[in-house]
Structure 1
């Protein structure tokens, strides 16, 4: 799976990448009442321009990405100084208030994200095959503290097992996240030209007693 994504980035086969801000982020982020300076975790971030929007809104951003090409393309798109360093298995590129951690999201440890208060997933869950999605939901729950809030954008498509991006039903989203998060379904968009239907959810990490 990792090699597949690395190859797609090397070859420029990144039809999943949006060159414009995702409308659900702009429409719903402020409704989450996330503290203005809260640090936001963006798993499997690619070179998402959504991270720029979050940073411009005042949030420090920590993106995790397996492809060095995605990270280098992201920082090259803005004329701004870049700081590079290494920490606990991750090569880190910092540009302004955005940190991009090169490595496996599943190797990220809670000690490394102690400052995280919010999260944003536009293309993480749907990038993972079914057997890995349960692991992803559990790992995300371990990384964010009780009360942390975030947005999840999932999608459904006609061919459930085709992908990536993979189709994730509403029932599966609830099954994956409801043990550790309070979920609120926000909207479902119209089918796009490929027949993909996006849905947006608000999530809040439950506390020890739910």
Structure 2
């Protein structure tokens, strides 16, 4: 999957990238009531403009992305000074209140996520093959504290991928052990056969 992802960026095969914030994010994020100033984790973030939208809502953003090209394009298309440094095996690039960590999401650990209080996944779960999605859901649960809220956008499609089809039953099976899972909406079927679903997640566990 990693090689295919990098190859897509090298060849410009990034039809998944949107040129504006995702309307479901704009519609549903306020309903999560995530406090201003809460840092939002965005796994497999690409160069998503959703991160800039979250930053405009007064959220620091921490995106994790494997493809260096995605990160470089994100900052090149943005405004403001870029700061670069290395930490815990990740090359980090910061522009404004968005910081991008280049590396493997599964190598990002709880010690690095101490300030994370919310999350947003539009393209991570559906980018992973079935055998890896369980690992992803468990790892995400380890990174966010009890009470942390997030938005997940999944999709169903004809066989193939990535992006991969993830059914409503699979979303519940993957996340219900560690999150309260609330289905928010199903989008209209698209001409390519894709149909998105939107979910609110809240990390279970005792609040401190």
Give the TM-score range, shorter chain: over 0.9
Aligned twin of 1:202: 200
Shift of 1:158: 2.2
CA distance in 1, matches of 2:2, 2:128: 10
Counterpart in the other structure of 2:171: 173
Aligned to 2:118: 118
Q: Give distance in 1, aligned partners of 2:161 and 2:55.
A: 30
Give the distance between the partners of 2:167 and 2:78, measured in 1 at CA.
36
Q: How many residues align?
A: 207
**2:189 match:** 191
1:13 to 2:6 alignment = no
TM-score normalized with structure 2 length: 0.98
Deviation string 1:149-170 (CA, Å, 9 cap, x unpaired) is 00000000122xx100000000
Which of structure 1's runs of 4+ aligned residues deviate more than 4 A?
A: none
Residue in 1 that maps onto 2:140: 140
Match of 2:53 in 1: 53
Aligned to 1:37: 37
Structure 2 residue 104 is the aligned partner of structure 1 residue 107: no
Q: CA deviation at 1:193?
A: 1.5
For structure 2, which runs of at least 5 residues remain unmatched after alignment?
none
The 1-side partners of 2:124 and 2:114 are apart by 21
Per-residue displacement from partner, 1:75-127 (whole Å, max 9, x unpaired)? 00023100000000100000000000000000001000100000000010000
Distance in structure 1 (CA, Å) of the matches to 2:78 and 2:27: 25
> Alignment partner of 1:21: what SS?
coil
Deviates more, 1:200-209 or 1:70-79: 200-209
Calculate the aligned-residue CA RMSD, in Å.
0.9
For 1:68-87, list aligned pairs within 5 A.
Answer: 68-87=68-87
